[in-house]
Structure 1
Amino acid sequence: MTMSCDDAGTKPVRFEVFTGAGRRREWADETRARILAESYAGLESVSAVARRHGLCPSQLFTWRREARKAIEAAAPVFVPAVIEPASVTAVPERSVRRRSRQARADGMVELEIDGVAVKIGRGADASVIAAVIDALKVSR
């Protein structure tokens, strides 16, 4: 603020005196880690933890974001797979046969007319199927 010499004694003037260097506070890593752990504990809000320690809430949110990024950067992208040899267990032959029949039966239609069973495979012509069904009906 500048004043001319004419009104030096007639108007009140306000002065602010700053003490200290006005530099940023530095937090020890242990203290910062403890505050971060408190903010993740979930017992109170992040803003309440920040205010209790004399921080701006935005500063604590920044610390949390930086900590998440550091963890993500340190984490491996791929996790190695460990393959152990499986113990060989005897599979009953009956279950194997059922599976193979089921695999083949997926594309088949099975009809039973008057005790006569007819299996029709994939890709069969519709006119042939109709002729077989008609023949079964007539013969009985």
Structure 2
Amino acid sequence: MTTPEPTRRLSVFTGVAKRRNFTAEEKARIVAESFESGDSVCSVARRHGLMAAQLFAWRKNARLRGEVPNIGKRQTQPLGLEIQSVSANGEHPAAEAAPIEIAIGAMIVRVPQGFDAATLQAVLQALKAAA
């Protein structure tokens, strides 16, 4: 029979928890640290007494606002592929239709409406094999 590990951390909660408010500067500093430190998002969140989900939400909001610092390995690189599809009657799909965007890691594949499904499947399989 194995002996259980000793408790490493014990938290005692007394009373009602007070909601913490972070200033915009504090949030920006913590988000920047989560991108720059090389540590996992969870460890940065723990270091600042946050739930990881909260830090992930702050990071997402910063990305949507375009405030994410430039980090070389995290920048997206275009693949340099241009794929055109022609319908059965020889016409190109409507150019004004909004494309579907598929994010695969740091890659984004934009698929126009009416694109050939077999070709798309082949492209996605090639990308998966290359990753």
What is the TM-score when the length of structure 1 is the normalising length? 0.35
Higher Rg: 1
Normalized per residue, the structure richer in helix is: 1
- Greater RCO, CA 8 A, separation 6+: 2
